[in-house]
Structure 1
Amino acid sequence: VQPACINQEEDVTGQFGVAVGWGFTEDDDVSATLKAARMPVVSTTTCLEHDRDTFGQTLDSSLFCAGHTNGTTVCNGDSGGGLHVKRGNAWYIVGIVSFTAPREDQSLLCKKDSYAAFTNVVTFVPWLRNVTELLSLAEQGSVTVRDGLDADPTHRYPNYLPRLCGNFLVSRIVGGTPAKLFEFPWMALLAYRTELSDNTEYNCGGSLINKRYVLTASNCVYPKTPFQVRLGEHDLNSYKDCNPNDASDCAPPVQDVAIDYIVRHQQQDRRSKSNDIALIRLTREVSFDDHIQPICLPVTPALKEQKLQRYIVTGFGRTESFGDISNILLKATLPAVSKANCQQELGITLGESHLCAGSAKDGGDTCQGDSGGPLGYPVRYNGVRFVQFGVTSFGRACGVGASVYTDVANLMDWILANMQA
Structure 2
Amino acid sequence: MSRFLNYISVLFNGIVLFQLITLNGEGALAQQSQLPRECGKLNEKLFYNGRSITALNEYPWLGLLGFKEPNYPISYNCVAVLISQRYVVVPAHCITDKNADALSVIFGDWRVDNNIHLRDCDRTQCAPPPKVYYLEEVVPHFQFVESHLDNDIGLAKVKENVQFSDYIQPICLPPANERDDQYIGQRLEIAGYPFKYRPDFDVNSFRMKTLTHMTSFEYCQAGLTEQERTELNMSTKQMCGFVLGGKALISGSAVMGVNLIDGKPNSFYLMGILTFGEIQNGLVDLDSPTWFQRVSPYRDLILQNMT
TM-score range, shorter chain: 0.7 to 0.9
- Name 1:186's counterpart in structure 2: 61
- Name 1:392's counterpart in structure 2: 274
List aligned pairs for 1:258-277, cutoff 5 A: 258-277=134-153
Q: Could you tell me which of 141, 158, 163 is aligned with 1:287?
A: 163
- The residue matched to 1:340 in structure 2 has which SS? helix
Q: Distance in 2 between matches of 1:218 and 1:323?
A: 28
Q: What TM-score does the superposition give when structure 1 sets the normalisation length?
A: 0.58
Deviation string, structure 1 residues 285-330 (Cα, Å, up to 9, x no partner): 011111101011113314766435022222222399x997752111
- Name 1:333's counterpart in structure 2: 211
Does residue 168 of structure 1 match 2:42?
A: yes
Paired letter, 2:206: I
- The residue matched to 2:299 in structure 1 has which SS? helix
Q: Distance in 2 between matches of 1:146 and 1:152?
A: 16
- Name 2:3's counterpart in structure 1: none
Q: 1:317 to 1:221 in 2, by over 3 A?
A: same
Q: Distance in 2 between matches of 1:406 and 1:195?
A: 30
- Name 2:288's counterpart in structure 1: 401
Paired letter, 1:211: Q
Q: Distance in 1 between matches of 2:188 and 2:200?
A: 24
Q: Distance in 1 between matches of 2:101 and 2:293?
A: 20
- Name 1:87's counterpart in structure 2: none
Structure showing greater relative contact order (alpha-carbon pairs closer than 8 Å, 6 or more residues apart):
2
Q: Is the 8 A contact 1:143 1:260 kept in 2?
A: no
Q: What TM-score does the superposition give when structure 2 sets the normalisation length?
A: 0.78
Deviation string, structure 1 residues 199-254 (Cα, Å, up to 9, x no partner): 2211111110011001010000012331010001100233211223x1xx211221
Q: Distance in 2 between matches of 1:176 and 1:388?
A: 20
Paired letter, 1:405: F
- The residue matched to 2:189 in structure 1 has which SS? strand
Q: Distance in 2 between matches of 1:304 and 1:282?
A: 31
Paired letter, 1:369: L
Paired letter, 1:182: N
Q: Is the 8 A contact 1:204 1:370 kept in 2?
A: yes
Q: Distance in 1 between matches of 2:70 and 2:45?
A: 43
- The residue matched to 1:226 in structure 2 has which SS? strand
Q: Is the 8 A contact 1:186 1:209 kept in 2?
A: yes
Q: Is the 8 A contact 2:189 2:255 kept in 1?
A: yes
Paired letter, 1:148: F
Instruction: Structure 1: give runs of 5+ residues left out of the alignment.
Output: 1-133
- Name 1:297's counterpart in structure 2: 173
Q: How many percent of aligned residue pairs carry the same amino acid?
A: 25
- Name 1:310's counterpart in structure 2: 187
- Name 1:354's counterpart in structure 2: 238
Q: Is the 8 A contact 2:108 2:131 kept in 1?
A: yes
Q: 1:332 to 1:352 in 2, by over 3 A?
A: same
RMSD over equivalenced CA pairs, Å: 3.3
Q: Is the 8 A contact 1:337 1:357 kept in 2?
A: yes
Q: Could you tell me which of 369, 388, 391 is aligned with 2:249?
A: 369
Q: Distance in 1 between matches of 2:44 and 2:296?
A: 26
Q: 1:342 to 1:305 in 2, by over 3 A?
A: closer
In the TM superposition, what is the alpha-carbon distance from 1:168 to its structure 2 partner?
1.3
User: Which stretch of the first structure deviates more once superposed, 278-287 or 235-244?
Assistant: 235-244
In the TM superposition, what is the alpha-carbon distance from 1:170 to its structure 2 partner?
4.0
Q: Is the 8 A contact 2:176 2:299 kept in 1?
A: no
In the TM superposition, what is the alpha-carbon distance from 1:270 to its structure 2 partner?
2.2
Does residue 241 of structure 1 match 2:120?
A: yes
Q: How many residues align?
A: 274
Q: Could you tell me which of 221, 226, 231 is aligned with 1:343?
A: 221
- The residue matched to 1:242 in structure 2 has which SS? coil
- Name 1:196's counterpart in structure 2: 71
- The residue matched to 1:262 in structure 2 has which SS? strand
Q: 1:252 to 1:373 in 2, by over 3 A?
A: same
- The residue matched to 2:56 in structure 1 has which SS? helix
Q: 1:385 to 1:219 in 2, by over 3 A?
A: same
Q: Is the 8 A contact 2:176 2:296 kept in 1?
A: no
Q: Is the 8 A contact 2:193 2:253 kept in 1?
A: no
Q: Is the 8 A contact 1:144 1:261 kept in 2?
A: no
List aligned pairs for 1:124-135, cutoff 5 A: none
- The residue matched to 1:211 in structure 2 has which SS? coil
- The residue matched to 2:222 in structure 1 has which SS? helix
- The residue matched to 1:259 in structure 2 has which SS? strand
- The residue matched to 2:112 in structure 1 has which SS? coil
Q: Is the 8 A contact 1:279 1:415 kept in 2?
A: yes
Q: 1:272 to 1:386 in 2, by over 3 A?
A: same
